[in-house]
Amino acid sequence: KQVSEYKEAFSLFDKDGDGQITTKELGTVMRSLGQNPSESELQDMINEVDADNNGTIDFPEFLTMMARKMKDTDSEEEIREAFKVFDRDNNGFISAAELRHVMTSIGEKLTDDEV
């Protein structure tokens, strides 16, 4: 199931369907996700997993990249740290007021219903 989801994601990146993700294609997707990577950052991202050094990412290399990302983001410690940012009074719960404070500080304006 996971691999088919990755295949779907890969095809979103691989705009021309040639089985390779270029820096241009990677940049397009990153920008659509609200990121703004420089050309050299995009190249670095590709170089990190570009096993055959051809300057693009094929599907097996894409799987490697996703596996690394999953490993990086699933760290329980990171999740605990993020929770602490929200849980300002350290009571183990995130109140509506605490949630509003954090969201407002990152520029999100929320209605009472959204909170």
- Domains 2-73 and 76-105 in one fold: yes
Q: Please tell me what DSSP assigns to residue 57.
A: B
CA distance readout (Å), 56 to 39, 62, 72, 76: 13, 10, 22, 32
Q: What is the pLDDT of residues 28-52, one digit of tens each?
A: 888 887 888 899 999 998 999 999 9
What residues does 57 pair with on adjacent strands? 21
Fold of 2-73: Recoverin; domain 1 (1.10.238)
Residue boundaries of the structural domains of the chain? 2-73, 76-105
Q: Give me the residues of the chain with pLDDT under 70, please.
A: 1, 70-76, 78
Topology annotation, domain 76-105: Recoverin; domain 1 (1.10.238)
Question: Residue 115 has what DSSP assignment?
Answer: -
The DSSP output letter for 5 is H
